[in-house]
Amino acid sequence: MVNKAFTAPAVVTPFPQLWTDSFSNAAIIADDDVLALQPGTHDLVIHAMALHCANDPVGQLIQCRRALKPDGLLLVVSLGGETLHELRAALGQAEIEVAGGLSPRIAPMAELRDLGGLLQRAGLALPVADAVPLTAEYRDIWHLMRDLRDMGETNALSARVKHPTKRTVFEAAQRIYADHFTADSSRLAATFELICLTGWSPDDSQPKPLRPGSAQMRLADALHTKEGKLPD
């Protein structure tokens, strides 16, 4: 979709083997707090499925921005705030019913508008943020949690519960989940919201916004309509 060739890509990822097989010429970078990126080296940086786990998301984007050559592209794909909202609600209500309180079980994830703002804070030009919700279906809540463990997406919060959870909490969560979030196939529906961010390293060749008041044509003329005053 981008009409440009990239010759010096870098990929920030917690799963290097997935990318090495497909992009043999790319620099594969671990998703550490300090990224092993050299300033002004790459014309494309892909931050793949790691920003939602970063301790400092703004810092990650700034480091990627510094690694780009002028007019280089940053592409970020991350999980967003609607991810696993069904599981969050079911576990929360179940824990209140069984244990009389709440504990952090699913990490909070940024909303689309917030992530779009981070691109501008990082100094990127032409920022675009979009969301793609995906729905997966599972036999039961244990099937879902096993899949999350295989993904490497279990609870990463430092304040998470460190002792074993009573089985009655999960049994209650299964009942609540099935009552409120069942798909047409009678399986449990789980939402994964993919946030896609793009931004460019600033360059003089990029389109610039026009100066306010510099328009050469009235909007009414372009729409072939009459312009009238608003009532007081």
pTM: 0.80
Average pLDDT of the residues of the chain: 89
Question: For residues 63 and 177, what is the distance between their CA atoms, to the nearest angstrom?
Answer: 40
Q: Where do the structural domains in the chain lie, given as residue ranges?
A: 9-204
Mean pLDDT, range 108-118, rounded to an integer:
87
Return the pLDDT at 123: 92
SS3 at position 74: strand
Predicted confidence band at 8 (pLDDT cuts at 50, 70, 90)? very high
Chain segment 164-223, per-residue pLDDT in tens: 888 999 999 999 999 999 988 889 999 999 999 999 999 888 877 777 777 777 878 888
pLDDT of residue 154: 80
The span from the CA of 72 to the CA of 46, in Å, is: 11
Q: Are strands 125-138 and 9-12 parallel, antiparallel or unpaired?
A: unpaired
Residues in CB range of 61: below 8 A, 6 or more apart: 47, 51, 74, 76, 118, 119, 121, 122, 124
Average pLDDT (104-110) is 81
Q: How far apart are CA 92 and CA 97, in angstroms?
A: 9
Q: How many CB atoms lie within 10 A of CB 183?
A: 13
- Rounded Cα–Cα distance for residues 182 and 149 (Å): 22
Q: What is the CATH number of domain 9-204?
A: 3.40.50.150
Does 155 have pLDDT greater than 80? no
Whether residue 47 has pLDDT greater than 80:
yes
